[in-house]
Amino acid sequence: MTTRQPKLIIHGGASSLVDDKGGLQKVRTSLHSIVTEVYQLLIDGETAIDAVVKGCQLLENDPSFNAGTGSVLQSDGQIRMSASLMEGLTQTFSGVINVSRVKNPIDLAKYLQTESDRILSDLGAIELARELQIPIYNPLTEFRAREWIAEWKDDFQGKMGRLFAHTESSEARRGTIGVVALDSQGRIAAGTSTGGKGLERIGRVSDSVMPAGNYATADAGVSCTGIGEDIVNECFAARVVIRVGDGLSLPNAMQKSMAECHKRERDLGAIALDHSGVISWGKTSEILLAAYHNGSTIGDTLEWQTEELMGFC
């Protein structure tokens, strides 16, 4: 098999609101640090799926992002997280839905890659964590507790939790984390993890654990963020990847799909890469918190606020 130049792109959410500059710098520092660490794994010969898992773990462990530690609270004041993982060569999808009291939901998704039952919801995911002897962990942070209490005092007038913790804005945000990687053997993997949109009805299922929000084949991989219901309505990740498989270039597939979303007033963002190493991203939201390594340099999309719906390198 021909050796490829590894490529990597990660995201920490999407927003229709502009963060303050201090907030953006905090995000940039976090994302660039994670890109650096995960890309080194790819350079050292690790597989795309292992790199994706590591990237998701690091993003889940950062309390600034709405996944793992720092996840938003649902309407009943509980944290329920979801994560999925897809290996592109075998097209194997796995995930957990609304799991509680674990540190890294992506670890459960990784274990399920080799199981016959590959997607587990709440009780099943919790029982799996017990079987694997994963320690009980409380992902709640003071920021998220105060956020929920403030909403409770306001009779839950807000629609969802804030995307990025520590920002000064009190406006609603939406957040997910995701990683897409191409390894030196040409294999693609995608992973996505979220704490949900915050304040949602108990039992609501995120796009992050559906092919709508996380999908990969041998041709391309996509991870989405934004309003989950919009992403599901568009089946966005799978749509982009299938278009690449049908012969469109990744930038053209992203552009076409984003234009359709823009026309239907969807609110979302996505990161992607293809088997040739092209990295692409798109958004209908105002901000996409993404960073990438193109084989020579690290870049990001944090201040990309043009009228264009997508970009690539």
Three-state DSSP string of 93-141 = EEEEEEECCCCCHHHHHHHHCCCCCCEEEHHHHHHHHHHCCCCCCCCCC
pLDDT at 171: 40
What are 64-107's pLDDT values in tens digits? 999 999 999 999 999 999 999 999 999 999 999 999 999 999 99
Residue 165 has pLDDT above 60, yes or no: no
Q: What are phi and psi of 61, to 5 degrees?
A: -80, -15
Q: What is the mean pLDDT of residues 188-193?
A: 98
| More confident call, 302 vs 167 | 302
Q: Which of 78-87, 153-162, 202-211, 282-291 comes out lowest in average pLDDT?
A: 153-162
Residue 11 has pLDDT above 70, yes or no: yes
DSSP per-residue codes, the chain: ------EEEEEEEEESSPPPHHHHHHHHHHHHHHHHHHHHHHHTT--HHHHHHHHHHHHHH-TTSSSSTTPPP-TTS---EEEEEEETTTTEEEEEEEE-S-S-HHHHHHHHTTSSS-EEEHHHHHHHHHHTTPPP-----HHHHHHHHHHHHTTT-S-S--SSTT-S--S--B--EEEEEE-TTS-EEEEEEE--SSSPPTT---GGGSTTTEEE-SSEEEEEEE-HHHHHHHTHHHHHHHHHHTT--HHHHHHHHHHHHHHTT--EEEEEEETT--EEEEESSSEEEEEEE-SS-EEE-TT--SS-SEEE-
Active-site residue flag, 176? yes
What structural domains does the chain harbor? 7-305 (3.60.20.30)
pLDDT at 93: 98
Residue 307 has pLDDT above 60, yes or no: yes
Q: What is the mean pLDDT of residues 296-311?
A: 87
pLDDT at 168: 41
Q: What is the mean pLDDT of residues 243-267?
A: 97
Q: What is the mean pLDDT of residues 168-192?
A: 82
Beta bridge partners, 291, equal 10, 300
pLDDT, the chain, mean: 92
Catalytic residue among 69, 176, 217, 284: 176
